[in-house]
Amino acid sequence: MTVLSSQQEIDILITEAEIAARTNNLARQITDHYKGTEQLVVVGLLRGSFVFIADLVRRLALPV
């Protein structure tokens, strides 16, 4: 575990915009693949995945 101080510099590897763009792309792919499905069930398996899953589900154009 690493604890970061507010005085340390942190290198950003992937920007917020890049993550949002990839999440949108993934949601579009899932929507296209599961078109016509009555209801899609989405399950997050990793602890802490709920934030990503919530963002992804909001972008799906399917009943979840």
Give per-residue pLDDT as tens, 8-32. 777 778 888 999 999 999 999 999 9
Write down the pLDDT at residue 47: 85
| d(C-alpha 35, C-alpha 60), whole Å | 11
All residues at 6 or more sequence positions from 13 whose CB lies less than 8 Å from its CB, including other chains: none
- High-pLDDT (> 90) share of the chain, %: 58
Q: Could you tell me if residue 50 is left (phi over 0), alpha (psi between -120 and 50 degrees) or otherwise beta? A: alpha
Indicate whether 38 pLDDT > 90.
no
Indicate whether 2 pLDDT > 70.
no
Q: What's the average model confidence in pLDDT over 30-37? A: 93
